[in-house]
């Protein structure tokens, strides 16, 4: 059927098949293992970790090493790394494959943060295609036969985008052995503002012989179907649209099958999901702490307390997103923001589920009446 959206599986080499071409885009501080697993269960076909710094992994920096923990992930899954030196990237990629054993190694060439681009990594590689190509070549040599993939932006700024840099970098990455390219349709100058340029994404999809994943501003099933139908991309990746809405992936999968799209869950189901998220995060932290020999002599109660503290930071943004837009959400968010433990977060979600009207009333009470 002409113009039918492609919902064909995406194949990377002989070893990796992404069954559903709707991916969770990596987001630092958001797409942790628990959230990835919730999105995969809801229907996302694939995910990568947020980016980890190459030399920090090689030095064993705990917080970066933890980013490569895949114990909760459905397969296939990728680990994303960033850096600017081909040899350091090669060694870090080797470390990741040996330690975390992902199915795919993904290279970040899109991060706009100065702390990344000042070191010539992330999106600044778009301004240095020789270096970008050398990094891909080095990583491919190290991780093959596992696939190497690359995530880019459409350019550094508008002029750079219009000069066709995304096509050039994508072609050179593929020449160097990359097996999939994800293109975020914004320039580095745009950061996360403005709209994604899908014309440039489509130009990359037309230019390279490997699957291209389009990314930027996909918020609804209709957006996903439209982009798959019109861009020539093999898949789409969703970032901010998935925050607090893992069910979006199930809705898109239904749309791609031609089935009726299930409605957004009502508040009780959203709060139940939030509670489930809290429990999973705490259970994950307990498992990580128990795995660490340094904690072998700690009492269970101590482990649980430590796990609660570690979970809280991960959970707060997620629970805020789950309640977003619901009646009473302003009051719920006010109370949630004061929680000092994950247990408190769970208690507040349960209370909101049991007495939504009380939150609604307190929301209304704070609306200052207009002057007569
Ligand atoms: C908070 C945040 C963190 C991000 N971290 C990463 C990252 O670690 N690696 C990466 O390749 N992209 C990262 N991105 C970019 C997203 O993967 C995606 O390209 C971008 O948000 C555009 O997609 P969207 O319009 O669907 O949000 C991040 C985006 C946000 C908002």
CA angle 115, 117, 123 (to 5 degrees): 135
If asked whether residues 106 and 173 sit together in one domain, one would say: yes
If asked whether residues 221 and 109 sit together in one domain, one would say: yes
Nearest to 200 by CA among 157, 154, 235: 154
Confidence of residue 132 (pLDDT cuts 50, 70, 90): very high
**Mean pLDDT value of segment 131-147:** 98
Across all residues in the chain, what is the average pLDDT? 95
If asked whether residues 14 and 55 sit together in one domain, one would say: yes
In a domain, residue 245? The reply is yes
Best residue for ligand 1 mutational test, from 22, 23, 24, 27 (most atoms within 8 Å of Cβ): 27
Beta carbons within 10 angstroms of residue 99's beta carbon: 14
If asked whether residues 104 and 206 sit together in one domain, one would say: yes
Interatomic CA distance for residues 291 and 294, integer angstroms: 9
Q: Give the active site residue among 111, 197, 233, 288.
A: 111
Domain boundary among 257, 282, 305: 257
Domain boundary among 228, 257, 286: 257
Task: Reply yes or no on whether the pLDDT at 6 is more than 80.
Answer: no
Task: Reply yes or no on whether the pLDDT at 2 is more than 60.
Answer: no
Q: Report the pLDDT value the prediction gives residue 369, as an integer from 0 to 100.
A: 55
Q: Supply the DSSP symbol for 78.
A: E
Residue 128, classed as helix, strand or coil, is: coil
CATH at 97: 3.20.20.70
Number of domains in the chain: 2
Render pLDDT for 39-85 as a digit per residue (tens, 0 to 9).
Answer: 999 999 999 999 999 999 999 999 999 999 999 999 999 999 999 99
Q: Report the pLDDT value the prediction gives residue 206, as an integer from 0 to 100.
A: 98
In a domain, residue 290? The reply is yes
Nearest Cα residue to atom 2 of ligand 1:
27
Best residue for ligand 1 mutational test, from 124, 152, 184 (most atoms within 8 Å of Cβ): 184
**Mean pLDDT value of segment 131-139:** 98
Q: Report the pLDDT value the prediction gives residue 365, as an integer from 0 to 100.
A: 82
If asked whether residues 221 and 142 sit together in one domain, one would say: yes
In a domain, residue 3? The reply is no
If asked whether residues 209 and 246 sit together in one domain, one would say: yes
Q: Which domain holds residue 320?
A: 267-365
Confidence of residue 5 (pLDDT cuts 50, 70, 90): low
State which ligand 1 atom lies nearest to the alpha carbon of 108: 11
Q: Report the pLDDT value the prediction gives residue 7, as an integer from 0 to 100.
A: 85
Interatomic CA distance for residues 260 and 236, integer angstroms: 20
Confidence of residue 280 (pLDDT cuts 50, 70, 90): very high
If asked whether residues 161 and 60 sit together in one domain, one would say: yes
Q: Note the pTM of the prediction, 2 decimals.
A: 0.96
If asked whether residues 83 and 222 sit together in one domain, one would say: yes
If asked whether residues 109 and 195 sit together in one domain, one would say: yes
State which ligand 1 atom lies nearest to the alpha carbon of 50: 8
In a domain, residue 274? The reply is yes
**Residues having CB within 6 Å of any atom of ligand 1:** 25-30, 50-51, 80, 108, 110-111, 151, 184, 192, 215-218, 238-241
DSSP 203-257: HHHHH-SS-EEEES---SHHHHHHHHHHS--SEEEESGGGTT-TTHHHHHHHHHH
Q: How far is CA 7 from CA 45, 85, 175, 207, 227, in A?
A: 11, 37, 26, 20, 12
If asked whether residues 38 and 160 sit together in one domain, one would say: yes
Q: Report the pLDDT value the prediction gives residue 350, as an integer from 0 to 100.
A: 97
CA of 160 to the centre of ligand 1 (A): 20
Render pLDDT for 283-296 as a digit per residue (tens, 0 to 9).
Answer: 999 999 999 999 99
In a domain, residue 371? The reply is no
If asked whether residues 175 and 293 sit together in one domain, one would say: no
If asked whether residues 121 and 185 sit together in one domain, one would say: yes
In a domain, residue 38? The reply is yes
In a domain, residue 191? The reply is yes
Task: Reply yes or no on whether the pLDDT at 233 is more than 80.
Answer: yes
Domain boundary among 207, 234, 257: 257
**Mean pLDDT value of segment 322-337:** 95
- The percent of residues above 90 in pLDDT, for the chain, comes to 94
């Amino acid at each position: 059927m002409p113009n039918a959206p492609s919902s064909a599986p995406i194949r990377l080499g002989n070893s990796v098949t992404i069954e559903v071409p709707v991916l969770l885009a990596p987001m630092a501080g958001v797409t942790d293992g628990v959230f990835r697993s919730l999105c995969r269960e809801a229907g996302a076909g694939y995910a990568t970790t947020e980016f980890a710094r190459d030399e920090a992994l090689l030095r064993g920096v705990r917080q970066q090493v933890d980013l490569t923990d895949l114990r909760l992930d459905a397969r296939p899954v990728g680990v994303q790394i960033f850096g600017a030196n081909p040899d350091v990237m090669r060694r870090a990629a080797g470390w990741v494959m040996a330690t975390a054993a992902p199915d795919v190694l993904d290279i970040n060439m899109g991060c706009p943060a100065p702390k990344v681009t000042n070191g010539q990594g992330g999106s600044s590689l778009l301004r240095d295609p020789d270096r970008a190509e050398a990094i891909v070549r080095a990583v491919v040599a190290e991780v093959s036969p596992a696939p190497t993939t690359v995530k880019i932006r459409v350019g550094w700024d508008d002029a750079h985008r219009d000069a066709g840099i995304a096509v050039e970098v994508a072609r050179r990455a593929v020449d160097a052995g990359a097996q999939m390219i994800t293109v975020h349709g914004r320039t580095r100058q745009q950061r996360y503002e403005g709209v994604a340029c899908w014309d440039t994404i489509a130009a990359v999809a037309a230019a390279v012989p490997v699957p291209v994943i389009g990314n930027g501003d996909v918020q609804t099933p209709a957006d996903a179907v439209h982009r798959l139908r019109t861009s020539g991309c093999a898949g789409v990746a969703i970032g901010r649209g998935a925050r607090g809405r893992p069910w979006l992936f199930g809705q898109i999968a239904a749309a791609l099958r031609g089935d009726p799209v299930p409605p957004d869950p009502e508040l009780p189901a959203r709060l139940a999901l939030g509670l489930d998220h809290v429990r999973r995060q705490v259970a994950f932290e307990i498992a990580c702490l128990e795995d660490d020999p340094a904690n072998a002599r700690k009492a269970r109660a101590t482990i649980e307390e430590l796990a609660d503290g570690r979970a809280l930071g991960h959970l707060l943004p997620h629970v805020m997103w789950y309640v977003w837009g619901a009646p009473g959400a302003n009051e719920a968010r006010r109370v949630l923001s004061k929680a000092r433990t994950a247990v408190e977060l769970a208690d507040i979600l349960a209370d909101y589920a049991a007495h939504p009207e009380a939150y609604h009333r307190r929301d209304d009470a704070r609306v200052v009446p207009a002057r007569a």
